[in-house]
Amino acid sequence: MHVMLCCNAGMSTSLLVQKMQNEVAARGEDTVIEARPMNEAMDHINEADIILLGPQIGYAKADFEKAVDGRCPVVVIPMVDYGRMNAPKILDDIKATLA
């Protein structure tokens, strides 16, 4: 599975990606997780199985959904999970969305 996290500049999201990668490793799962700034993400949109948007760019969800044209889900990370860097919960939400 390939997960792309998008945000404005990639700073806080890169911290979340590290936590998610550690959680994936602990679970023994084969998942690629990457962070991209929003202006770069559209160039790589077809590489992802799911796109997660940081809450600060939730306003762009419709643009991402139009770009993926139904090929993969686009989900805004809940503010509380993002703020707490709750990697286990976010990964569980990804699995539920893709199930």
- Tens-level pLDDT at each residue, the chain (99 residues): 999 999 887 667 888 999 999 999 999 999 999 999 988 888 999 999 999 999 999 999 999 999 999 999 999 999 999 999 999 999 999 999 999
Q: For residues 73-82, b (16+ Cβ closer than 10 Å) or e, as one string? A: bbbbbeeebb
pTM for the complete prediction?
Answer: 0.93
Pick the CATH number of 2-98 from 3.40.50.1970, 3.40.50.920, 3.40.50.2300, 3.30.950.10: 3.40.50.2300
Catalytic residue positions, numbered: 7
